[in-house]
Amino acid sequence: MENNTKYLRDLAKVASILESENITAVQRRELLSIYSVAYHDSGKIEGIASLDGTATHCSFCKAMQAAAEMDKTIVCGGCYALAMESYRTNVTNRNYIRQLIMSKVEFTVDELSTLNIPSRFVRFNSDGDLENTTQAINYLRIAKAHSWTKAALWTKNLPALKTAIEKEGKPENMIIIYSSCRLNESRVDLFEKYPWIDYVFTVYVDKKSTAAAIENGANECNGKKCMDCGFKCYNGTWKKHTNIAEYLRGVNPQKRAELLKAVQARKA
């Protein structure tokens, strides 16, 4: 667990630099030295490096959480990252610093090449989502700067990413996955409008609908460890422009029944 004193010191330094009227090259390098790319040595994404934000502090995430209060089919109402951040404050704190750095300063490809990426496989947005276009641009440039990696970006914030891609283009080593906003609603229609999306990722509320999606051509995730799966999302070995199905985990039977009722009502 990160020492709280170190977090507060780093946060104060980052805040001080970001308040500068003109951020110098030295200060930019200092921000990146503070950033610290995460590496997952256990869990679902074991063996993967991640560059994250925070569902607690991301304005886009907050808007989606507010929308979910009115529409129970919006998956952000049961955000796993938000739940985790409520008790893993060390993760929340460090991801908040990461989000601040990447969303406030637009770095060059050369500058971002100094980041230490401790794995060939890189995930963007293991926690949180894109705060803004600046963060999206930096993520695209990080993939370019580390062309030896296999990178994958998950997002719901298509406006921010669209603007960034129009400016930067899509890196050859990056897979882009749109996370469907609603339970049981695969947005495969978006491939035509945004051809740079490689896959959509959809959460299904019950086993029946999950199985039906897979039978109809969706790729099965369902909580499998990426390592056991063969890092298909990162390698792009799923068929392009297809759906990835995930069974909703971590809810009790009563909550699952409520969500299924909401999904059925929406369809009706």
Q: List the domain range (segments joined by +) for residue 78.
A: 4-267
pLDDT tier at 90 (50, 70, 90 boundaries)? confident
pLDDT tier at 123 (50, 70, 90 boundaries)? very high
User: Using the 8-state DSSP alphabet, how is residue 157 labeled?
Assistant: -
Residues near 67 by Cβ (< 8 Å), separated by ≥ 6?
A: 74, 76
Specify the number of domains making up the chain.
1
pLDDT tens, residue by residue, 151-199: 999 999 999 999 999 999 999 999 999 999 999 999 999 999 999 999 9
Helix (H) or strand (E) holding 216: none
Residues 98-127: what's their mean pLDDT?
97
Rounded Cα gap, residues 268 and 262, in angstroms: 10
Which class for 39: exposed (0-12), middle (13-18), buried (19 or more C-beta within 10 A)?
middle
Residues near 8 by Cβ (< 8 Å), separated by ≥ 6?
A: none
* Beta-sheet strands, E only, within the chain: 38-40, 48-51, 121-124, 150-155, 174-179, 199-204, 219-220, 242-247
pLDDT at 1 over 60: no
Per-residue pLDDT at 2: 62
* Beta-sheet strands, E only, within 52-167: 121-124, 150-155
pLDDT at 204 over 70: yes
pTM for the full predicted model: 0.95
Amino acid at 116: N
